[in-house]
Structure 1
């Protein structure tokens, strides 16, 4: 099993911290490094998150930019050949903040 925590890069994506400046490492990330569960954090941008959200919407999956950012990170890891086989994406994104985007034209 491989675990790839994902963080927003350069901007804040709702639901994801922007900790790539190195000033703060969350306790979750620190424990993951200390326990050797993962060795790096995947960074994703607001643009990548928007693209991921669009891709999910086209696939019939309702989500917000947090899950879009995670999907963008997964797609990039697959393209790089780092991830292969069965992939599980876990997100705490309930999507309720984006209900207004369900209307036609969004």
Structure 2
């Protein structure tokens, strides 16, 4: 889960390190998708291929807690996570797929 927190919550203006010679640089959007894919099974426990609002809010709240040096008001965090679910659910079907979550995180990373 820390991979996603680092990728998604990193400042977009951060300077990227040079890749070692002979290593292929992976586009940031592919890094995000790979991180989501790696952690997805922990949160989509039934294997249905999507997260409902509760699962999404739980995952995003945990990511925020990992990335924050201090405790935050749980009500504010939940409100933020619910709004993030609304934004990530691009087709408004009350589910977030790995693709939607990756796109959402990648867009936040770029801001």
* Higher strand proportion (structure 1 or 2): 1
* Higher helix proportion (structure 1 or 2): 2
- TM-score by length of structure 2 reads 0.25
- TM-score by length of structure 1 reads 0.26
